[in-house]
Structure 1
Amino acid sequence: LFPCSPVYPTLAVDIRVLDFVRRLFLRIAPNYTAWCSAATDFLASQGYHLPGDDPLRRRFANALQWFMSLSDMATARIDTTLQRVRVENIPEAYATALRLNPKSHCQGQSPRAEDGLSDEDDEQPRAARRSTRGVTIEDVVDEEVEEMETRKPDARRSTRGVTIEDVVDEEVEETETRKRARTDSDSSDEWDPSEEQVPLSRPSEYLRSRCPLCFGGKKCESIIVAADACFTQKHSAQKCGRDPPRTHPNTYFIPEEEVNAWKHYADCIRSRKQNQPPPPKRTKPDHTHDDEQDHCEEGLRVPKSVLDGCLASFTAADEARIKGSTRFFDVTANMTLLCRHDRPLFTVNMNTPGEGQHYVLALLAKLFENLPHDTIVRFLYDIGCQLHRSCVKWGFLKPYMSRMTFAVSIFHAFGHQWPCQMIYHPRKCIGCGLSDGEGCERLWHSLSHLIAYGRVAGYYVRMYNLDSPAHFNNEEGLSKLGVWLRRKVIACESKLNEAEEVLRKCGFPEDVLQREWDAQIKAQTKPLPRQHKNRGKSAVEEALRLRKSRDAALDYVKDLRKRIMDTSSAPWETATAELELETALQVLRKAEGKVKRKEDSLGVTAKQQLRHLIKSPFLTKKMNARALKTRIRERLRSRKFELDRLERSYRKQRSEQRINEHTQDSVKRRDPGIAELTRKYNRLCDDMDTIIRQNKAPRNAIAPVKIEMEGLFDLDVDDDIWLDIGLGYDDDDEGDGSAPPLWLSNDDVRAGIRAMLDRDRCLEERKRLLDERSAMQEWFSEEWKVVTMAMQDSRFF
């Protein structure tokens, strides 16, 4: 039996019942009220009536909470013992201490189970509870803990070898010394949190315990990790403040102090570099910035204009998404860093309305602290291009940038510009294999049952109840890693065979395909020409639109005059036409004035282009197709962002479900409009193809590729919606006699390039899967050896 309090308990519960409820609450949201009410009702049906309105809940919750804490402490104690054996027998494990704190659950004042319950459950006054509950665990001094803390470290070391407690205590003491040194100095803004790292020969035991496939081997050459935030995992701000600290002995959460240190550091760096005098005010419009040459910023392969477009796309999406309010929530979201096997590594609580970069920086810095100095990290993030840009611009994670690559999550690549996808898409990046970077979505879905409970529970109780199911899911998935490897090997081999078959059918050698792919990257990621050049082209297009508007006004005037001169018209029709004719003539005169002013403002080159466009129906249709395709892409992106919000909505309350249904219906109602725009674009492509066959188009003109209606809304990376073949501004200068490149004009080459990239990613995936299989075998062999040695040595028990 397990008591509800250490002294004079008024209730004792069978340990097997507590263990059953603990395992149940790992699979569903903890609900003490429902469980105790059902138990009370069941006992009453058996003839055992308990006095009081709610006789079990408080005491049962107290017993269950401390039973869970002691169970986790026992697990941490076993891990600490095994680590002591590992440190004594495996030299490289000494500097990779397992960061456990068996006493971390009772820091400061010891919490009670009722601290994590909502205020609605608090029916009795606190004074009455103190008079009726007897002595709880916080009223008793833990003699064993006191004895361990008063024992001298030298005496401990004299009786045994170096223990895990010694390693952890020394690291904590060293960290505290550095913190005091930074506090005493006046240059705290110069401190870089990423500079403090202890050299490791292999990944830390913390990481090895998180994922044996990534970190369990003797060598860890490269890993793939991903991060994302979940804005449904909130915590409501409580009037009484936070509950007493209660931390899981093996928690995933990074301490709040470290996150705040990164926020302070990032703010200081940005404010120092941006603290420059503002430019002088100008009374006239300044076009200096418009004429600025587009360029690739130092250390980046994507032009500045493309990165600005990606930032604008995701900024618009974030503004449309409802996020947490700091007025009602003290935790607005959780951000987690996972390996490619969907196993969480570190988590942080977010307390800002948006997704600040300092949270990601804190997660990555914590990861590098637990890795050897030669491990390569490939990081997948929704806006990985923007994070890479910030790290290069502001110097974040500077000690680690030489062994770090960035990519975007595969399901959110649609929000990025096509040149950005060519560099940062996982299927285009070297080393990413077949990883998608969307493990966070699967993790948050598995913890979605804790959303409602986490909002009303205590601050530390919520964190504890997020740690527990995360550990449970890791333990459940540990026995399935072999099945995971087998499934991935089968999928990889199937995709590899398909890619090699396409390569054989394309009819071009691989060196040609690689050369064409390099040429495509160079052509489509080169910086834009000076803005005044594009502005001239836009002016020409504007002149054409004004001409069309003038022609429409002229046709309307002609129609009115025809109705006036028609003798068969009724008198009222003639009178109405005469009244409308004066207004129509004014509109026509204004349109002609606009056309004249616009054409007079054009330069010599622009006037030649205008005359060329007026005489060339092909170029006119090309201009219209380019504008139409841009519009289709924008509407498809907006649709995808709206559906993305529904996919991230895990709560299924009736009110929110109605909002989601209404949003989904609104999105579907706009689908026919997008489809009609696509059909118009395809008709323009047919017209342009007809003009080319009739030899009425410029020399070497290329017809744009039609958009397939099937799979229109998928926005896959290799869809033709991204390629502006035959529609680019650079293609307007036709007639130079040069033939278009193969990657632009040959369908077989484009298919071969896609197959070559898929083949390369499959080969990378195959090698990584073999390395992970070896790592799992080496990890299991070491664990078996450590457990066997611990069982044979009585010093460790």
Structure 2
Amino acid sequence: LMHAGLVACTPAVPEVAISIGILELYYFIRSHAPRLGVQPFVRALCDKYKCVFRPYLRDQFAAAFDAYMAIRREVQRRMDTALGRDAPNWRAHNSCACCNYKLEDEPPLVIEGFCAMDGGQAPKRSASAGMVDERVFDSDYRIPPEEVDLYANEVAYDTLDESGEPGDDAPKPSVCASRWKNAKAEHHKTAPGMYDQTGVFVTLCRHGLLLWFAEMIRSGELAKYPLASIARMIAAGFRCKSCGYDIGCAFQGTLDRSELLGRLARDACISCGVNSFHGYGHNRICQLEHHPSFREGFGLEDLEVCERFFSWLNGVAGVVRHASHFHWLQFIDLGMR
């Protein structure tokens, strides 16, 4: 069937097959319009070819598309192996030439590179979506939950008002962090009970290219997510990086006090500050120390690439809300590439 340009909906016992050209068309449309689900695309095909839409047609197309995506991932994996691109952190080092390319004898900069971190709560996944689909999706963008949980105890918190967020472990409570917590929407307090995945935490380079993302699982934007991202930067060998984060002032203190990462981050000269737009929500003393406008080496950099990234990625939220964990990851990953 593959030689004939077809992908079977049930590869083990093929009865119905779909053209690779149609599957590839949907792949590219979905890459550029993440809000387009399978059902409206199949309805459009039925309209074009003058046939009545039936729900089973959507199921058949979805099964064939899963097989097509699995083939693409396997082909990509073999290509990466053949080209020597399967080393750990290869993509993080080579995805953005502007950030990582260096000339011989290039004079060192005060800050050698910028990145930004933030959590997005739009692409949630309902807890009632079920666990029937046991397939495992692997992505070189994803920080596994077990790796994130290594830093779950890096923030000490004692009261019911504290939850392990950046700044909870500060000897003196941060005014900025408190304001940020109080400004949260009311639905964030109930979201962990309604959803398994409550969003994604992303790390981007200054040009908006994704470095890593982590699933936020039944929680808000806890400190363990940016800590895991910083750990990835250190493991990748990045040095002299400055990371923009909404509450980078409070998180810098959390990072400094971290037993696992504090010394490593200082040795790698990795620091955190606030984003340009969000920074104006911080008090004046904080701005003078952490705002890009007042820090040496930042120039015109605003570190607000996460907001632009989420304005694109949020399009996928509506079609993955009730998806299986496998499909949630598959389409989140597709929307990020």
Mark the CA change 1:53 to 1:381 in structure 2 (over 3 Å): closer, same or farther: closer
* Aligned counterpart for 2:113 among listed residues 223, 244, 256: 223
More strand by share: 2
Tell me the SS of whatever aligns to 1:437.
coil
For residue 55 of structure 1, report the CA deviation from its aligned partner. Answer: 4.7
CA contact (8 A) 1:242 1:460 kept: no
Question: Is 2:87 aligned against 1:98?
Answer: yes
CA distance in 2, matches of 1:322, 1:313: 17
Tell me the SS of whatever aligns to 1:350.
strand
Question: Is 2:240 aligned against 1:251?
Answer: no
Q: Look up the equivalent residue of 1:460 and give its one-letter code.
A: F
CA contact (8 A) 1:266 1:358 kept: yes
Question: Is 2:272 aligned against 1:391?
Answer: no
Tell me the SS of whatever aligns to 2:202.
strand
CA distance in 1, matches of 2:64, 2:129: 26
Give CA-to-partner distance per residue, 1:462-482, whole Å, 9 cap, x none.
1111111222xxxxxxxxxxx
Mark the CA change 1:325 to 1:218 in structure 2 (over 3 Å): closer, same or farther: same
Corresponding position of 2:149: 260
* Aligned-residue identity in percent: 25
Give CA-to-partner distance per residue, 1:87-126, whole Å, 9 cap, x none.
xxxxxxxxxx534xxxxxxxxxxxxxxxxxxxxxxxxxxx
CA distance in 1, matches of 2:134, 2:279: 43
5+ long unaligned stretches in structure 2:
159-169
Question: Is 2:290 aligned against 1:401?
Answer: no
Q: Look up the equivalent residue of 2:126 and give its one-letter code.
A: S
CA distance in 2, matches of 1:217, 1:242: 48
| 1:447-596 superposed matches below 5 A | 447-471=313-337
Corresponding position of 1:74: 75
CA contact (8 A) 1:228 1:336 kept: yes
Give me the CA root mean square deviation. Answer: 2.7
Corresponding position of 1:40: 46
CA distance in 2, matches of 1:53, 1:344: 38
| 1:309-388 superposed matches below 5 A | 309-318=175-184, 320=185, 322-323=187-188, 325-371=191-237, 375-388=239-252
CA contact (8 A) 1:251 1:467 kept: no
CA contact (8 A) 1:207 1:215 kept: no
Corresponding position of 1:433: 299
5+ long unaligned stretches in structure 1:
85-96, 100-203, 275-299, 472-797
Give CA-to-partner distance per residue, 1:222-250, whole Å, 9 cap, x none.
211110111122111126336323324x4
Question: Is 2:28 aligned against 1:23?
Answer: yes
CA contact (8 A) 2:204 2:306 kept: yes
CA distance in 2, matches of 1:394, 1:9: 55
| 1:91-240 superposed matches below 5 A | 98-99=87-88, 204-217=89-102, 222-238=112-128, 240=130
For residue 461 of structure 1, report the CA deviation from its aligned partner. Answer: 1.0
For residue 253 of structure 1, report the CA deviation from its aligned partner. Answer: 1.2
Mark the CA change 1:396 to 1:322 in structure 2 (over 3 Å): closer, same or farther: farther
User: Matched residue pairs, number?
Assistant: 313
For residue 341 of structure 1, report the CA deviation from its aligned partner. Answer: 0.5
Mark the CA change 1:64 to 1:349 in structure 2 (over 3 Å): closer, same or farther: same
CA contact (8 A) 1:40 1:56 kept: no
For residue 351 of structure 1, report the CA deviation from its aligned partner. Answer: 2.1
CA distance in 1, matches of 2:137, 2:101: 26
CA distance in 2, matches of 1:239, 1:69: 22
CA distance in 2, matches of 1:17, 1:354: 39
CA contact (8 A) 2:154 2:259 kept: no
CA distance in 1, matches of 2:99, 2:179: 34
CA distance in 2, matches of 1:327, 1:74: 39
Give CA-to-partner distance per residue, 1:389-410, whole Å, 9 cap, x none.
2223444522122412221111
Corresponding position of 2:57: 56
Q: Look up the equivalent residue of 2:325 and give its one-letter code.
A: Y
Q: Look up the equivalent residue of 1:251 and give its one-letter code.
A: D
Tell me the SS of whatever aligns to 1:326.
helix
User: Which structure is higher in RCO with an 8 Å CA cutoff and minimum separation 6?
Assistant: 2
Give CA-to-partner distance per residue, 1:689-711, whole Å, 9 cap, x none.
xxxxxxxxxxxxxxxxxxxxxxx
Corresponding position of 1:560: none
| 1:687-706 superposed matches below 5 A | none
